[in-house]
Structure 1
Amino acid sequence: MAPPIACDLTQTCYIQQGVDHDPGPGVQDFSCGTLSYDGHKGTDFALPSLAMQAEGVDVLASAPGTVRGVRNDMADILQGTPGAPDVSDRECGNGLVVSHGDGWETQYCHMKQGSVVVQPGQTVAMGQVLGQVGLSGQTQFPHVHLSVRHDGAVIDPFAPDTLTTCGTTPARALWNDSVPFPPGGLIGAGFSDAVPAFDAIKDGTAGRDTLPKAAPGLVLWGFAYGARSGDTLTLTIRGPKGEVFADTQTLDRTQAQLFRAGGRRTPSGGWPAGDYTGTVELRRDGTTLDVQTTQVVLN
């Protein structure tokens, strides 16, 4: 099988959550990490911003099969926002189920309203477009949720032979090719003239390519996922005359998503004109998990 989303999982999208392997109230993904939540029965392939979702990203069939059960009329509204509808018993939102024979099936959830382009009874090929990533159902970020089941039982495509243990190297996976499942990482990074609102970062509107030399400040921010208590996030800004700012922040709790920001107020007379580079590094137990760089031009 193949990932159900038309993006690069190492560059333009990422896996936010996997199947929960803890049989009790705790949370463990197949590697004994924290990229899941209690009772999660699928894998969430996420987009970095609402702006990318609005542009349109295709949902793809993970394996060949026959479509059964389609829903296509629910509104794209993030849960927790004003006007969000009650989605009880419709948590999947818009989506569909594909039957693959011999008791195997996949389910695709949270698709964009009106985007589903297949019908019940239709045969689909692996990689065929089914619709687009949306915000329908029980969702708080843009993603497609993929569930894999065999004879009704939940299957983790990263570790299909066990669901109640974790930490051992899976003997096999269901993916045709290697699919990355990092233990956390960076979703994005950018510059602004003040600490941005988290909603602006998630919207994809917080970053600036250019700023005036007399802007109120020069702030670098990093947007991370899967962070754990004790991880560190280092923010560094370098300009035409060398280092402007450097700060390492130790994270005090485990969070599915978070952002940190830091920078300097504008000096008297403004910043020197030119290119400024920001580097954001997420580390765990002395090992770098992810690094992103970003640039802004001051003029």
Structure 2
Amino acid sequence: MRLAALLALIPLAAPAAAGDFRLQFPLDCTLGETCHIQQFVDRDPGPGARDFTCGTLSYDGHKGTDFALPFLSDMQAGVQVRAAADGVVRGTRNTMADQYATAENADSIDGKECGNGVVLRHGGGWETQYCHMKRGSVRVESGQKVKAGDVLGEVGLSGKTQFPHLHLSVRKDGAVVDPFAPQTLETCGTAEGETLWADLPAYQPGGVMGAGFSTAVPDYGAVKSGLADEAPLAADAPAFVFWAYAFGGQAGDALELTVTGPGGEFVSHSEALNKNQAQFFRAAGRRLRGGQWPAGSYTGIARLLRDGQEIGRLVRSMEITAPADPDTQ
């Protein structure tokens, strides 16, 4: 059976009672460490966008929850997608390429924006859909019964997407339901007991998902691929750069980068965003002006600040080793 397209014209459901229908976390990752939620269901009925907290982690018309991996290398290593509830496989797709969506490949994606994925029917009018899975990873077939926690496949980069993630849609009688607040459309937040999750995933309004050291400001493509970190740097590296990769940025947020070394503070930089950015990176550092970098331990701290309050932090450390004295070899 043909897998329903991600961007099909599916309405947002009126408040829905969960009853006995509950969802398990659908990925083999640790939220806030090895994955994060990039976007939630759009709750704004107009041209704007807001998530269930009235925050900005959504975009106009978004009909699911996006569980994102920090880097393309994480996807390539393999992260399993699991059934969120008991059900029967309604349809699958498994042959689309893992690639960033571009103007050049738009025609091949048209009508198949979900990419590779699975649709499960759960009874009582409930369905879940799992999109953007890795080509060739889908393990189930139409008509197969699955239990909550069964492996469906792996996170990929297929369909209409710009980052490796699982897009999970939940529907009741064909209409989209926000699993974080299925019984409220007009208010912000999740009331006690008003969630489809067996264990409610923590909400993070933004954060730092990667950081590292390099000998030059890295290319953004290398950052997204997970190839930008060159630590540990050599004592004679031409430059010392600390970079960080973040998500959920709002205009006015600041990404603060600091590095301490053997002599104390080594790098200090803070830069405010001039617009909302779903994902972004910043870098700061120093050029080598003769000699060598002091040997010892270096610790970089990346902090995402909103209205002066820290909403995300990542710490990375490395050692610079003094080159061996040729006279002692």
Given the two structures, how large is their TM-score scaled by the length of structure 1?
Answer: 0.96
The Cα of 1:264 is off from its aligned counterpart by 1.0
2:139 to 114, 117, 121: 117
In the TM superposition, what is the alpha-carbon distance from 1:73 to its structure 2 partner?
A: 1.2
- Long gaps (5+) in structure 1: none
Per-residue deviation at 1:209?
Answer: 2.1
* Alignment partner of 1:44 is 2:66: yes
Instruction: Determine the C-alpha separation between the residues in 2 that align with 1:146 and 1:97.
Output: 10
> How far apart, CA to CA, are the structure 2 residues paired with 1:218 and 1:157?
45
Is the CA contact (8 Å cut-off) linking 1:158 and 1:170 kept in structure 2?
A: no
Match of 2:164 among 142, 150, 162: 142
Aligned equivalents of 2:107, 2:93: Cα separation in 1: 16
Percent identity, aligned pairs only, is 54
What is the rounded CA distance, in whole Å, between the counterparts of 1:85 and 1:135 in structure 2?
17
Q: What do residues 32-79 of structure 1 show as CA deviations (whole Å, max 9, x unaligned)? A: 111111100000001110001001110000011111111111111111
1:194 correspondence with 2:216: yes
2:258 aligned partner: 236
Match of 1:210, SS state, is coil
Identify the residue that residue 167 of structure 1 maps to in structure 2: 188
Structure 2 counterpart of 1:87: 109
TM-score, length-scaled by structure 2: 0.88
> Over residues 212-254 of structure 1, what are the superposed CA-to-partner deviations in whole Å (9 max), with x where a residue is unaligned?
1111111111111001011111110111111111112111111
Partner of 2:201: 179
SS of structure 2 residue aligned to 1:272: coil
Which amino acid in 2 is paired with 1:38?
A: D
CA–CA separation in structure 2 for the residues paired with 1:108 and 1:168: 24
RMSD of aligned C-alpha atoms? 1.3
Aligned to 1:86, what secondary structure does the other structure show? helix
Structure 2 CA distance for aligned equivalents of residues 265 and 166 of structure 1: 51
Larger displacement relative to structure 2 (128-137 or 262-271): 262-271
Q: 1:4 aligns with which of 17, 21, 26?
A: 26
Matched, 1:268 2:290: yes
The number of residue pairs the alignment matches comes to 298
Q: CA 1:168 to 1:17, structure 2 compared with 1: closer, same or farther past 3 Å?
A: closer
Larger Rg: 2
SS of 2:224's equivalent in the other structure is helix
Relative to total residues, which structure has the larger strand share, 1 or 2?
Answer: 1
Match of 1:56 among 67, 73, 78: 78
Counterparts of 1:145 and 1:168 in 2: how far apart (Å)? 21
AA matched with 1:220 = F
1:83 Cα deviation after fit: 5.5
Q: Deviations over 1:94-125 (max 9, x none)?
A: 11111110000100001111111011111111
Q: 1:19 aligns with which of 41, 44, 50?
A: 41
- Of the three residues 118, 122, 125, the one matched with 1:96 is 118
Secondary structure, counterpart of 2:108 in structure 1: coil
Residue 180 of structure 2 corresponds to 158
1:166–1:203 CA distance, 2 compared to 1 (3 A): farther
Q: Which amino acid aligns with 2:188?
A: G
Contact 1:77/1:84 (CA < 8 Å) preserved in 2? no
| Structure 2 segments unaligned to the other structure (5+ residues) | 1-22, 322-329
133 and 85 in structure 1: CA distance in 2 versus 1, 3 angstrom threshold: farther
